Amino acid sequence: MTKVWKKGRGKLGPMAPLLGRWKAKADTPMGPVTCVRHYEAFGEKYVRLEAEWTFSAKGAPKSYRETCFFGPDSDGVLTFWSYTSDGKKSSGKLADASDLHAQAVCFEAQMDAGLARQTFWPADSGGMHWVVEAKTKKGWSRLADHHYRPA
């Protein structure tokens, strides 16, 4: 059964289609990976993401974890705050990615290497797409591309 992609109301409205548990398998430079992302309400003002990437290639790190919160910042802008198992942290704000899909939910963050974005949108075959891209002089360069299905 395909999950309906419908944004909700209020500040957290764009997060509504993401709520639930999602699973993807993808090839990466570190070998095959399985990623599970779980988005759930955290009180009334936040959504919490728990994500785990499990790598299966010999010599690759076994797993990588992320805890992330989405909610309004002090100016009321939907923002994310991410903390990862390798000690990194980042934050970014809701942005436009209509160049990828009319229903895209996108967050941009200023990283050490420059501007990056993570974007989600419904997949025609069911589930959702999730990509991470870095801004270059020629446009957006894709770093990760996963197709998630409800888990």
Give, for all 151 residues of the chain, the pLDDT tens digit: 345 688 899 999 999 999 999 999 998 888 899 999 999 999 999 999 999 999 887 776 689 999 999 999 999 999 999 999 999 999 999 999 999 999 999 999 999 889 999 999 999 988 999 999 999 999 999 999 999 999 9
Give domain limits for the chain: 13-150
Question: What residue spans of 13-151 are helical by DSSP H?
Answer: none
Position 61 scores a pLDDT of 67
Q: Please name which of 3, 1, 2, 60 lies closest in space to residue 27, comparing C-alpha atoms.
A: 60
Distance between alpha carbon 80 and the CA centroid of its chain, in Å? Answer: 10
Position 3 scores a pLDDT of 54
Position 58 scores a pLDDT of 77
Strands 20-28 and 139-150: antiparallel
| Whether this model's pTM surpasses 0.85 | yes
How far from each other are the two terminal CA atoms of the chain, in whole angstroms? 12
- Residue position matching structure tokens 């992302």: 37
Position 2 scores a pLDDT of 46
**Residues counted in the chain:** 151
Could you confirm whether domain 13-150 is CATH 2.40.128.20? yes
